[in-house]
Amino acid sequence: MLNACNNEGKQADFTTDICILGGSESGFTAAIQASRMGKKVVLIEPTGHPGGMVVEGLGKDMRFGNAIVIGGITREFYEAVGEHYGRKAEFNNPRWYSKYEPSVAGQIIEQMLGKEKT
């Protein structure tokens, strides 16, 4: 799946169950979930850098007042961010927030995509 993100605009023929255009948070999480459900997935991200606003700044200082809404693959992402910095994600603590570098977010997303089969 990661190779699909870094295609650099070259034309390619492929057969897939699901083709996702756009690697924002919703795009890359949908691709991961579909892959986990056994679907062959191609994720096309025109910039070559999946993550969208999660990487570009939205999550740099994100406070979680209602942590119950953070679940699934998004929760896995924030747990991996915490792990990277050697701290535990405390979703049930209303004072906890996630602050991270965009480059770290990008690396984690690429790792998450890389773990999935195409």
The predicted structure's pLDDT at residue 65: 60
Domain containing 89: what range?
Answer: 2-114
**pLDDT tier, 89 (very low <50, low <70, confident <90, very high otherwise):** confident
The predicted structure's pLDDT at residue 14: 78
pLDDT one-digit tens code per residue, 93-106: 766 767 788 999 99
Ramachandran angles phi, psi of 99, nearest 5° = -130, 125
pLDDT one-digit tens code per residue, 37-72: 999 999 999 888 899 988 876 655 555 566 566 789
Specify the number of domains making up the chain. 1
pLDDT one-digit tens code per residue, 64-80: 566 566 789 988 998 99
Q: DSSP of the chain, one letter per residue? A: -HHHHT-TT-------SEEEE--SHHHHHHHHHHHHTT--EEEE-TTS-TTTHHHHTTTTTEE-SSGGG--HHHHHHHHHHHHHTT----TT-TT-EE---HHHHHHHHHHHHHTS--
- Name which residue leads in pLDDT, 90 or 5: 90
